[in-house]
Chains A and B, each alone.
Chain A
Amino acid sequence: DAGITQSPRHKVTETGTPVTLRCHQTENHRYMYWYRQDPGHGLRLIHYSYGVKDTDKGEVSDGYSVSRSKTEDFLLTLESATSSQTSVYFCAISDKQPFSGDTQYFGPGTRLTVL
Chain B
Amino acid sequence: TQLLEQSPQFLSIQEGENLTVYCNSSSVFSSLQWYRQEPGEGPVLLVTVVTGGEVKKLKRLTFQFGDARKDSSLHITAAQPGDTGLYLCAGAFGGDDKIIFGKGTRLHILP
Shortest CB distance B47–A (Å): 10
Q: Is A48 an interface residue (CB 8 A)?
A: yes
Q: Does B103 contact A42, Cβ atoms closer than 8 Å?
A: yes
CA–CA, A8 and B99, complex, Å: 25
- A99-B48 CB under 8 A given contacts A44-B101, A106-B42, A107-B42: no
Q: Is B40 an interface residue (CB 8 A)?
A: yes
Q: Does B92 contact A98, Cβ atoms closer than 8 Å?
A: yes
Q: Is A19 an interface residue (CB 8 A)?
A: no
Bin chain A's interface residue count.
20 to 34
Q: Is B78 an interface residue (CB 8 A)?
A: no
Q: Is A84 an interface residue (CB 8 A)?
A: no
Chain B residues proximal to chain A, CB less than 8 Å? 30-31, 33, 40-45, 48-50, 88, 90, 92-104
Q: Does A50 contact B92, Cβ atoms closer than 8 Å?
A: no
Q: Is A58 an interface residue (CB 8 A)?
A: yes
CA–CA, A97 and B103, complex, Å: 22
- A101-B97 CB under 8 A given contacts A108-B42, A109-B40: no
CA–CA, A92 and B43, complex, Å: 10
Chain A residues proximal to chain B, CB less than 8 Å? 31, 33, 35, 40-45, 48, 50, 56, 58, 90, 92, 97-101, 103-109
Q: List 8 A-B contacts (CB under 8 A).
A: A31-B97, A44-B101, A97-B96, A97-B97, A98-B31, A103-B48, A106-B44, A109-B42
Q: Does B98 contact A48, Cβ atoms closer than 8 Å?
A: yes
CA–CA, A103 and B99, complex, Å: 11
- A98-B42 CB under 8 A given contacts A41-B103, A42-B101: no
**Set of chain B residues within 8 Å of A99, measured between Cβ atoms:** 30-31, 92-96
Q: Does B98 contact A33, Cβ atoms closer than 8 Å?
A: yes
Shortest CB distance A30–B (Å): 10
**Set of chain B residues within 8 Å of A92, measured between Cβ atoms:** 42
Q: Does B97 contact A108, Cβ atoms closer than 8 Å?
A: no
Q: Does A43 contact B88, Cβ atoms closer than 8 Å?
A: yes
